[in-house]
Structure 1
Amino acid sequence: MIKSMTGYGASVTDLANGKYTVEIKSLNSKFLELNIKLPKAFSDKEFFLRNECSKLLERGKVMLSISADVTDAGSKAATINKDLLKHYYTELKDVATLLGDDTKDLMPLALNLPEVVKFDENSVSEEEWKLMIQTFYKAEANFQQFRKDEGAVLEQDLSNRITSILNFMNLVVHEEPNRIPAIKEKLNNMLADAVGKENIDQNRLEQELIYYIDKLDITEEKVRLKSHCDYFLETLKDKDANGKKLGFISQEIGREINTMGSKANDANLQRYVVGMKEELEKIKEQLLNVL
């Protein structure tokens, strides 16, 4: 069973004061290219999420987006650094006195200075993290199902195209018995026209024909092509992701088709070879999207 490298999965967990949303998207890539977008509160969890994505998502250009929409302002309770506030206020008061300025509105100014007021939004509780990671795993499950559904469509298409290649090969097998006699007749006629039929050394001609026709024999190519196609179909059914393996098999299929085409020396066989090549090119395009 194959899976598509492109995919999409999302999950939302509703909270009493908001919601957590996780989205996973992927496109084609030879390796895992991971881009993670996290709320600041979960930034310390990035390493864990990267490890999980590496294990679960395998390959692809992946975008993981996590958002925390919290509506309750109380969940972002502030703390005041009293010592720092006192220091700022004293310094401001001294400067105001030195300049003869009013000192009654210094408190709001001191509260707005750096590090005086801190909001508790940069950390999350264990319970909040548990909810978030559950949301992530649900999104990942939806993402994997999307990949499987797309993979099923790809598998059917690839299977049909391999079957089409095999059908073209059967046409080659059916046509081939007519090829060798036609080649012999053509060579005999050419030689007769060139030197005269009575001047032909039949024994020497037969030797040369055997050598020449042996070079045009495509029996091995047919056997190997059939074997590679069968192996391709078997690999499609494996439970593991086999995109790269299928790519290697398709290269071997291409070699046999090209060799068959170079040996064909027959218009009908060449047409069938062209048909095989067309199907193989479409297979290679589809394999770019197979995990």
Structure 2
Amino acid sequence: MLESMTGYAALKGDAIGHNWTWDLRSVNAKGLDLRLRVPDWIEGLEPALRSGLSKSMARGSVNLSLRVQRDEEQGTLTVNQVQLSAVLDALADAETLAIDKGVGLAPSKASDLLNLRGVLETSVEDTDTKALLAAITAQLPVLLESFKDMRRKEGVALEAVLLDQLEQIEELTAQAAEAARARRAESATILRTNLARVLDNSDGADETRVAQELAMLAVKADVMEELDRLRAHVAAARDLLAQGSPVGRKLDFLMQEFNREANTLCSKAQSVDLTRIGLDLKAVIDQMREQVQNVE
């Protein structure tokens, strides 16, 4: 199946007291260009992700962003002994001062003390980065499958466009062959007329040599070889599309050959109809080449 280099996928996950968000996207490129933005405090994360991406795709400018956050509720509540002792000392001083002033104080509850700032603390244990690494990388295949699924869907649409353009090239090649055959009879008449004109105006000219030169000009103007190669290129392109990705580089090279034959056809045309068909071919080939740039 043909696969486009354009794709996008997003995913969320959580484990080991953390949650994370994936963002993976790509556009076309001549080779594989991986750009990763991932936490550097998880040892071994970037090499593992880079390896997984490299095995999953052959071409494209790929951007992967991974944000990892610690869960807010993670941690253990502990009593700050120093702070609690200071609070109790301050409370005792307050009670003594109140007695001296003849003021009565309501008994303090433990919950009141614990709600005072600094008495309770949340102690967070060190993160087990190896376990976190394993949890994150275990989700990478799920992300990649979603990503590749989108690229395959794009590839289906892209393949339909390319096959339609190949049909247009094939049809224009057939029209060019008809125009070339029609031109052949006209060219033969022109060559005979030119030969007679040259012989009538050239004393002592070698009739055989002049005829050979004119025949060589006729051969050079013949476009059947270019048309045969265009048909062969159409067949080769269809075979590549049937193979599926990665065939982008081969298709790109084939488009250069398509363009070369179309250029030669235009230079040899020597007729309005054949020139028009050659220009139409060049237009379709150029459009197809732009689409091929997106094939992995």
TM-score scaled by length of structure 2: 0.74
Rounded Cα–Cα distance in structure 2 between residues aligned with 1:252 and 1:230 = 13
How far did residue 265 of structure 1 move?
0.9
Q: Among residues 279, 282, 286, which one is paired with 2:284 in the alignment?
A: 279
The one of 167, 179, 198 equivalent to 1:175 is 179
1:219 to 208, 220, 224: 224
Larger CA Rg, structure 1 vs 2: 2
2:236 is aligned, of 231, 244, 252, to: 231
Q: In structure 2, what is the equivalent of residue 141 of structure 1?
A: 145
TM-superposed CA distance for 1:285, in Å, is 1.0
How has the CA–CA distance of structure 1 residues 75 and 253 changed in structure 2, closer, same or farther, with 3 Å as cutoff? farther
- Structure 1 window deviating more from structure 2 (138-147 vs 177-186): it is 177-186
User: CA separation in 1, counterparts of 2:265 and 2:181?
Assistant: 15
Contact 2:43–2:129 under 8 Å retained in 1: no
5+ residue gaps, structure 2, are: 79-122
Query: Please, what is the CA RMSD of the aligned residues?
Result: 3.3
Q: How many Å apart are 1:133 and its aligned residue?
A: 2.0
- Corresponding residue number in structure 1 for 2:32: 32
In structure 2, the CA distance between the partners of 1:75 and 1:238, relative to structure 1 (3 Å rule), is farther
Query: 125, 131, 137: which is aligned to 2:135?
Result: 131
Report the Cα distance in structure 1 between the residues aligned to 2:226 and 2:240, rounded to whole angstroms.
Answer: 21
Q: Could you give the per-residue CA deviations for residues 124-148 of structure 1, whole angstroms, max 9, x where no partner exists?
A: 352x434322322211111101111
1:87-126 alpha-carbon deviations (Å, 9 max, x no partner): xxxxxxxxxxxxxxxxxxxxxxxxxxxxxxx965664352
Identity score, percent: 28
Preserved contact between residue 195 and residue 210 of structure 2 (Cα < 8 Å): no
CA–CA distance in structure 2, aligned partners of residues 271 and 76 of structure 1: 80
- Please tell me the residue identity of whatever aligns with 2:218: I
Gaps of 5+ in 1: 79-117
Determine the C-alpha separation between the residues in 1 that align with 2:65 and 2:125. 22
Q: TM-score, structure 1 length as denominator?
A: 0.75
Distance in 1 between the 2:76 and 2:22 partners? Answer: 21
